[in-house]
Amino acid sequence: MSMIQILANDGISKAGENLLIEKGFKVCTTPVKQEDLIDYINSENIAVLLVRSATTVRKNLIDSCPSLKIIGRGGVGMDNIDVEYAKEKGINVINTPASSTNSVAELVFAHLYGGARFLYDANRNMPLTGDSNFKGLKKNYSNGQELKGKTMGIIGFGRIGQQVARIALGIGMEIFIYDKFIHDITISISLFNGQSIDVDIKTQPFEKVLEKSDFITLHIPSQKGYVISENELNKMKKGAAIINTSRGGLIDEEALIKALDNNKISFAALDTFENEPTPDMKVLMHPKISLSPHIGASTNEAQENIGLELADKIINHFN
């Protein structure tokens, strides 16, 4: 086992790298261009390929690289990997579903608080006209809303959806949940002092979540076709808002812009986009959209956890 070679092509946390080195693995973290990847894996006899969202692992690479034993994704979604094909070829495919849960859930609320108080727009306009139009900007941004007492609709109730629910309940929001596979569930909210509170939750029909929620957040994997298109946006409460920190392509961006322009939706927050890494300029320039560049899992804590979780799974596999 002393010289099993690992290529962390999109990087790995120092903690994860150190743990692997300590256990006798050789870890390369210098990125290899996609077009050079097959040659590199074969020439260096790479047994483990670790990726995030930048590198793709398709059928041709899997077929061309017989040395691969593990393909690992630092994060949750694995749409950049031909997972089933790799498994058929006897390759162990791993990911880190637990590590970034809190980071993504907290980003939802960063966008939500910013949207409810127009911070995303105020931060654009204060540097431009804050000195000459302070009173005008104050007037523009003075009809914000509190989150306490509002309703949060959560589409998809896996780990991240459940963490969003914990935060929402903690700040006094009511929650409406939709999930294809979960019906009734109890979630535990842990407090700083070791106490915890159990909350029983019943899921609701999709239509009801759309109709009743003041804010809707998506926590589902990539789908064929849109989950939120013009039809779904029209069913939402007038003045509601929508957040997507999940996957690009879940929301029809053309329909979203139309709904924002006609004031059906008050604001949207997007961390993921239909066309990454070149989102539509109409989306980027829209005054009612709060934006971030797919950073849901990109906190120091999440990246450290992801590296350690990958390292543990690799060590266990070879032991």
Q: Is 63 exposed, middle or buried (0-12, 13-18, 19+ CB in 10 A)?
A: exposed
| Residue 286 appears among annotated catalytic residues | no
Catalytic residue among 111, 219, 247, 286: 247
| Residue 52 appears among annotated catalytic residues | no
Catalytic residue among 159, 166, 294, 317: 294
- Residue 303 CA to residue 39 CA, distance in Å, equals 28
Count of CA atoms in the C-beta half-sphere (13 A) of 68: 30
| Residue 294 appears among annotated catalytic residues | yes
- Residue 116 CA to residue 42 CA, distance in Å, equals 52
- With contact defined as beta carbons under 8 Å apart, do 218 and 246 qualify? yes
- Three-point CA angle 278, 281, 287, nearest 5°: 130
Catalytic residue among 22, 207, 276, 301: 276
The catalytic residue positions are 247, 276, 294
